[in-house]
Amino acid sequence: MQHEQPDASLTPNLPANLPTKLPTDRRAMLAGIGGLAAGALLVGKAHAGPLNPPAGPIAPTPGPEPRTAINATNTPGDADSLFKITQPGSYYLTGNITGVAGRHGIEIAASGVTLDLMGFDLSGVPASLDGVSATIFNLTNITIRNGSVRGWGDEGVDLGSNFADNSAVIDVRASGNAGSGITVGTGGMITGCSAAFNGGTGISTTSGGTITRCSAAGNTSNGIAAGSGSTITGCSAYDNTANGISTSGGSTITECSASLNRASGISTVNGSTIIGCLANRNSGNGIAVTTNCLVLANTCQANGNIGDGAGIHATASDNRIEGNNCTDNDRGIDVDAAGNIIIKNTCSGNISNWEVAIGNVCLVILATPTIAAISGDSGGLSPGSTNPNANFTY
């Protein structure tokens, strides 16, 4: 009977000069060590990964979703809402929402809520309430972001009516709502949003708000409105029924555009600043201020031609109107009261270039045009004054 030869790889490699006869306990010990080594080798082979793993980074295993989904189980509605958030936290939509008469789409009844619309659409119906609404007075720290809110029977996103302060609306489109498009409370922030064809104001914040990179078009009231101490930057307001941009006192409006609005393009009051804006073809004034305002480096063109208006119209005192260009308006620069300084401005092609009341600091020079074309490195005429603060008609 033939015996199967042992696998040489499993046989311990004993030293060549090892005596042929060893005590039994030593031979057993050496054999045991060899067996353990062979076993470790087999285990290592059995559990080792592939010699050539796939190229590219290893994708992480996704963890559980940390936010709460908006649905009938997690956020059940009540008599006036389809869904209702009652606890602080982070929430998200998983699909579109269609409104129902007499109800808000999503009602928020807690502070410290972040709601991600996830790019979905909240579509209202006639006689529905707000698309998203903070319904309890004086909530704080609410954020709504990334979605569409349209066709609701009242406001699109309403964080203002009940003064949800220190809140934010980011990257939301609001259109065709019966009331205002987007509103926030004191200290609120509205960024990257658009509001079109709403039945009230397009976009608004109360005192101390910030509105940045937003657009408002075709709204029935003001396009963009802000309370006192607010800042509006890089926004556009087009074809709104009232003013394009309107603020209370102590506000700053910079690098904005207001065109074809039915009242003034930009209107503000006591202690505000308007810098680097365009006001174009508005039915009323391009820019309208009352008192203590700085109006600097703006372009005002073809305002008042449908109604009656000036490129810039100041109705009271202590304004500084500097470095603006006003062309083709009913009146270029119109100042009704004494006590203003008007310097370094230019006006051309207005029905009346200057209408400035007595008692203001203002020097106007009629610049003389060249009598020949200029080609090369010389030619032309001086504008007619070396006074650095002179205003020019050209």
Return d(Cα 164, Cα 205) in angstroms, integer.
Answer: 11
Confidence at residue 50, expressed as pLDDT on a 0 to 100 scale: 55
The H or E element spanning position 295 is strand 294-296
Confidence at residue 53, expressed as pLDDT on a 0 to 100 scale: 64
pLDDT at residue 39 is higher than 70:
no
Identify the band that residue 9 occupies on the pLDDT scale cut at 50, 70 and 90. very low
Q: Which residue has the higher pLDDT, 57 or 253?
A: 253
Burial 180-197 (b: 16+ CB within 10 A, else e): bbbbbbbbbbbbebbbbb
122-148 pLDDT tens trace: 999 999 999 999 999 999 999 999 999
Identify which of 105, 112, 60, 77 has the alpha carbon closest to the alpha carbon of residue 91: 112
In sequence order, which residues have a C-beta less than 8 Å from that of residue 297 and are 6 or more positions away? 275, 276, 322, 323, 324
Identify the band that residue 311 occupies on the pLDDT scale cut at 50, 70 and 90. very high
Q: Which residue has the higher pLDDT, 272 or 61?
A: 272
Confidence at residue 51, expressed as pLDDT on a 0 to 100 scale: 60
Q: Which CATH number fits domain 233-371+380-394: 1.20.120.530, 1.10.3720.10, 2.160.20.10, 2.40.50.140?
A: 2.160.20.10
For the residues 98-113, what does the mean pLDDT come to? 98
For the residues 341-362, what does the mean pLDDT come to? 98
Identify which of 170, 80, 173 has the alpha carbon closest to the alpha carbon of residue 121: 173
Confidence at residue 306, expressed as pLDDT on a 0 to 100 scale: 79
Return d(Cα 148, Cα 191) in angstroms, integer.
Answer: 14
Which range of 6-15, 149-158, 374-383 scores highest in mean pLDDT? It is 149-158
Return d(Cα 80, Cα 154) in angstroms, integer.
Answer: 13
Paired with 206 in beta bridges are none
Identify the band that residue 60 occupies on the pLDDT scale cut at 50, 70 and 90. confident
Contacts 24+ apart (CB under 8 A), 369-377: 369/394
For the residues 383-387, what does the mean pLDDT come to? 91
Confidence at residue 390, expressed as pLDDT on a 0 to 100 scale: 97
Confidence at residue 52, expressed as pLDDT on a 0 to 100 scale: 67
pLDDT at residue 19 is higher than 70:
no
What's the predicted TM-score (pTM) here? Answer: 0.84
Confidence at residue 381, expressed as pLDDT on a 0 to 100 scale: 87
Confidence at residue 66, expressed as pLDDT on a 0 to 100 scale: 94
Instruction: Look up residue 206 and give its amino acid.
Output: T
pLDDT at residue 114 is higher than 50:
yes
Identify the band that residue 346 occupies on the pLDDT scale cut at 50, 70 and 90. very high
For the residues 24-49, what does the mean pLDDT come to? 45
Give residue limits of the domains in the chain: 233-371+380-394
Identify which of 277, 293, 312 has the alpha carbon closest to the alpha carbon of residue 391: 312
Instruction: Look up residue 11 and give its amino acid.
Output: T
What are the φ and ψ backbone dihedral angles of 26, each rounded to 5 degrees?
A: -70, -40
pLDDT at residue 337 is higher than 70:
yes
pLDDT at residue 17 is higher than 70:
no
| Residues 271/250, Cβ–Cβ less than 8 Å | yes
147-202 pLDDT tens trace: 999 999 999 999 999 999 999 999 999 999 999 999 999 999 999 999 999 999 99
- Beta strands 273-275 and 346-348 are unpaired
pLDDT at residue 355 is higher than 70:
yes
Q: What is the mean pLDDT of the chain?
A: 90
Distances (CA, A) of 242 to 68, 193, 266, 287: 41, 20, 10, 13
If you write DSSP's letter for every residue of 75-141 in order, what string do you get? Answer: SEEETTEEEEE-SSEEEE-SS-EE--TT-EEEEE-SSSEEEE-TT-EEE--TT---SEEE-STT-B-
Q: Which residue has the higher pLDDT, 320 or 8?
A: 320
- Torsion from C-alpha of 103, 184, 150, 212, nearest 10 degrees: -170
- Map residue 251 onto helix, strand or coil: coil
| Residues 200/180, Cβ–Cβ less than 8 Å | yes
pLDDT at residue 307 is higher than 70:
yes
Helix %, strand %, coil % of the chain (to 5): 5, 35, 55
Least confident of 82-86, 255-259, 293-297, 301-305: 301-305
